[in-house]
Structure 1
Amino acid sequence: MNKELIINVTASEITIALFEDKQLVELTKEQSRSGYAVGDIYMGKVKKIMPGLNAAFVNVGHEKDGFIHYLDLGPQFTSLQKMVNILTNNKRSINFEGLKLEKPLGKSGKIASHIASGQTILVQVAKEAISTKGPRLTSDISLAGRNVVLIPFSGKISISQKIRSNEERNRLKKIASGVLPNNYGVIIRTAAAGHPAEDVEQDILALVHKWEKAMENLKQQNAPSLVLGEMNRTTTMIRDLLNGSFSNIYIDDQATYEEVRDYIRTIVPEKEKIVKLYKGNVPIFDNFDVSKQIMSLFAKYVSLRKGAYLIIERTEALHVVDVNSGNRAKVDDDQERTAMDVNLAAAAEIARQLRLRDMGGIIVIDFIDLHKSENRNALVEEMRKLMAADRAKHTILPLSKFGLMQITRQRVRPETQVDMREVCPACHGTGTVTPAALLDEQIENQIAYFAQDRGERYIRVRVNPVVAAFLKKGLFSLRLRWMMRYKCFIRVVANSHTGIIETKFFDRRNKELV
């Protein structure tokens, strides 16, 4: 599979388009660095304890306080808080590797027993602020690298379940245990499979250094403040996705180009040449056909092959996808086969749309009814196979007796949305339209000018069908009265593509009168 990244940089945001075999599959928008990103670590101040929810609200500087549940404190919260108190209150350095860890928290405790209002705690953004909710926080802190995820206050070495080979798992575990300092744990990512030992070791040591430097800086900080920022969305996506299948990364901004190129030179020097600075006169998204795909893919109606289509509706609580056969039902005789063909095509497009729009929460899909159990099972298996490449955690349930498929998909960022609206040609975005009583006066003034001042004896008026009906209404219509008053022939033509207050005038040779 051939992958490409197209990156458009403006003053307010960075838009990243991921292509797989020339097809748009992910679209990510990152605001300027004033926002909050998943993975950012903050010194927060507890604002309010909510005993009924066993949770608390924490001020991290966002306009809405972050939310942290007792279970999000993490098993080593007591040890973390002990370190924070030493650094912030005593203002002295500590030997992290020599720190004695406290007893882990149980899963059934009360949050009020461990934190209080006004207390300073170290938290990490687990979910960005979505809709009316503030950011979701956790104190079970981790630092992500290309090959590993470092977990302070843990001695465990875990390996991605996607690495199947026992030999490779043992090799990676041996590498990590040989370099990992005391009081650190690590999760070895799928990307580490097959990588040389020095790459994994360097990744671990770089993350350890990053963590210890951030903790050292903690002595000079007051809550609420940013302690350690996650990489921007561009380099994060490259870190998580970059592999041998990437052929090109196009960027239209010099500074971002140099930043990405330097990052790739650090992690995969041989891939540096795939980063290219776009200097064309045409906007980068237009040049690479991104804009066209965005406009066709983010609409409420999504077309499938042979006349079938999807309808995607979004609510606060869930997303609903309706699969329609369209014209297919009229041409095929085998109803079951038609339904299966449309459902399989819809499943492929839905899996793509989930990634493209970054839809999260509960997704309910109304597939076309299938009567054979083997077809129903095959559809569910196909959906699971199609979503295997989706990096977001998800669960797919079998079809219900009503033919509905339910999917839950992890949501850590606001859903990607593209504004499909255009400025109204009638009111030009003002929200007001000229009343008919004034409109006919404007049309008459124009006719008077063309007939009396310009000497026109034939005037064709092209207007919206609603306006045309108004001008020709009654035995003595406005059109007839104007013909008698200005001594010229007037023809009113209704055009459905003409705006409600748009009017155009033409002469006998169909030349527009201006």
Structure 2
Amino acid sequence: MSTELLIDSAQNGSRIALLHDKQLVELHSEGMENQFKVGDIYLGTVRKIVNGLNAAFIDVGYEKDAFLHYQDLGPNINSLLKFTKMVRNNNYSNYNLKGFEIDPEIDKIGKIANVLNKTNQVLVQVVKEPISTKGPRLSCELSLPGRYLVLVPFSDTVNVSKKIRSSDERKRLLRLINSIKPANFGVIIRTVAEGQSVTELDKDLRNLLSTWEEGMKKLLKAKSRDKIIGEMSMASSLIRDLLNESFDAITVEEESTYDQIKSYIRSIAPEKEKIVKLYNGKAKLFESFGIEKQIKSLFGQTVSLPQGGYVIIEHTEALHVIDVNSGNKSNQESDQESTALKTNMVAAKEIARQLRLRDMGGIIVVDFIDMK
């Protein structure tokens, strides 16, 4: 399977298309004014605690207060609150957490009012961007993703991606990371770390630790609503998370973005630098690659299936409903059962693609064609 990334540009932002074998599987957009990106870490202030929701509303500078549920506090919220207060009061300058005493974990089932107080200042990370009338959704379980590793402050746990199957490789990676990571930092070992040398893993870890320390230096003089650590651009974060051997091409429409992407690829995977291309065609990038046509056919309420039939996708406030139809594919009684089976199987694959493309979550109800 070949993988391509297309990045087009406009005055108000950019769009990023991920293709598998020329077929659109993910579409992302990033506006110039998009201030609250998933992964951004802010210094927020507790504005309201709602006991009925077991949640708090946090002021991070958006027009609507952001939402923080008890389950998103993370087990080490007390350590985070203590660290934040100590740094803000200039009583602690070891941003690498050396010698920092971790507090006991909070209960998995508890009351947010027993943990947070109104006007508390707390470090929070955006886990869901604002949409419609809702503000961002937040977490206090901070994490910094890198190419091979994810750094988790106020933890000592090392976990390996379940996609790494080899028992020997899992043991090797656990041994390596435990030997190089500092105390009071947990690490998640990503799938792409498989087979990587200790030099590459250590380099990634040092970069993440440096990002953390630079952010915490800002915390000392930061004001409420300030961004402490910012996530990289959407295109760079996608490349960081998805780049693998199947990537054949990254085509960029705008020159400054091209330079940025090329520089980033050079730093994380220099052998892949040659796949980054600057688009010079007369037509717009998405039009030239047929993406605009795919977008128009894919994002309507009705989506046609490759071998006949179609699905209807409807959205409500409570749930998403997907209805599978065979159309006029077969009206013969003897063919109806096999037609239903084939259509349902094709529809299941297309529905999975649509869920990914439209970033659909929550309750999803699928009404397949009835079969005996």
Query: Per the shorter chain, which TM-score range?
Result: over 0.9
Distance 1:116 1:341, change over 3 A: same
- Counterpart-to-counterpart distance in 1, 2:236 and 2:302: 33
Deviation at 1:103, TM superposition (A): 1.6
1:236 partner amino acid: S
- Counterpart-to-counterpart distance in 2, 1:6 and 1:108: 44
User: Residue in 1 aligned with 2:198?
Assistant: 197
1:204 partner SS: helix
User: Residue in 1 aligned with 2:347?
Assistant: 346
- Counterpart-to-counterpart distance in 1, 2:240 and 2:206: 17
Contact 1:92 1:219 (C-alpha < 8 Å) held by counterparts? no
2:241 partner SS: helix
Superposition CA RMSD, Å: 1.4
User: Residue in 1 aligned with 2:102?
Assistant: 101
Normalised by the length of structure 1, the TM-score is 0.70
Deviation at 1:243, TM superposition (A): 0.6
Distance 1:272 1:33, change over 3 A: farther
Deviation at 1:331, TM superposition (A): 5.3
- Counterpart-to-counterpart distance in 2, 1:305 and 1:269: 39
Task: Write the mapping of 1:179-190 to structure 2, written as runs, cut at 5 A.
Answer: 179-190=180-191
Deviation at 1:33, TM superposition (A): 4.7
User: Residue in 2 aligned with 1:267?
Assistant: 268
User: Residue in 1 aligned with 2:72?
Assistant: 72
Deviation at 1:247, TM superposition (A): 0.7
Distance 1:155 1:322, change over 3 A: same
- Counterpart-to-counterpart distance in 2, 1:63 and 1:49: 18
Contact 1:68 1:136 (C-alpha < 8 Å) held by counterparts? yes
User: Residue in 1 aligned with 2:306?
Assistant: 305
Contact 1:3 1:248 (C-alpha < 8 Å) held by counterparts? yes
1:135 partner amino acid: P
- Counterpart-to-counterpart distance in 2, 1:82 and 1:334: 68
**2:5 pairs with 1:9:** no
Q: Which has the larger radius of gyration?
A: 1
Task: Write the mapping of 1:325-474 to structure 2, written as runs, cut at 5 A.
Answer: 325-330=326-331, 333-371=334-372
Deviation at 1:193, TM superposition (A): 1.2
Contact 1:145 1:207 (C-alpha < 8 Å) held by counterparts? yes
Q: Spell out, residue by residue over 1:313-365, the C-alpha distance to the aligned partner (whole angstroms, 9 max, x if none).
A: 11122111111111112257332111101111111111111111111212111
1:340 partner SS: helix
User: Residue in 2 aligned with 1:143?
Assistant: 144
Deviation at 1:303, TM superposition (A): 1.2
- Counterpart-to-counterpart distance in 2, 1:196 and 1:312: 46
2:330 partner SS: helix
- Counterpart-to-counterpart distance in 1, 2:338 and 2:110: 55
User: Residue in 2 aligned with 1:512?
Assistant: none
Normalised by the length of structure 2, the TM-score is 0.96
2:59 partner amino acid: N
Gaps of 5+ in 2: none
- Counterpart-to-counterpart distance in 2, 1:108 and 1:320: 32
Deviation at 1:56, TM superposition (A): 0.9
Structure with greater contact order relative to length (CA < 8 Å, sep ≥ 6): 2
Question: Which deviates the most, 202-211 or 39-48?
Answer: 202-211
1:161 partner SS: coil
- Counterpart-to-counterpart distance in 2, 1:68 and 1:75: 14
Deviation at 1:203, TM superposition (A): 1.1
- Counterpart-to-counterpart distance in 2, 1:331 and 1:298: 32
**2:36 pairs with 1:54:** no
1:150 partner amino acid: L
Deviation at 1:55, TM superposition (A): 1.4
Task: Write the mapping of 1:278-297 to structure 2, written as runs, cut at 5 A.
Answer: 278-297=279-298
Task: Write the mapping of 1:221-232 to structure 2, written as runs, cut at 5 A.
Answer: 221-232=222-233
- Counterpart-to-counterpart distance in 1, 2:332 and 2:234: 47
Contact 1:43 1:121 (C-alpha < 8 Å) held by counterparts? yes
**2:160 pairs with 1:152:** no
Q: Spell out, residue by residue over 1:430-489, the C-alpha distance to the aligned partner (whole angstroms, 9 max, x if none).
A: xxxxxxxxxxxxxxxxxxxxxxxxxxxxxxxxxxxxxxxxxxxxxxxxxxxxxxxxxxxx
Contact 1:306 1:327 (C-alpha < 8 Å) held by counterparts? no
Gaps of 5+ in 1: 372-514
Question: Which deviates the most, 114-123 or 259-268?
Answer: 114-123
Deviation at 1:295, TM superposition (A): 1.1
User: Residue in 1 aligned with 2:239?
Assistant: 238
Deviation at 1:131, TM superposition (A): 2.9
User: Residue in 2 aligned with 1:39?
Assistant: 39
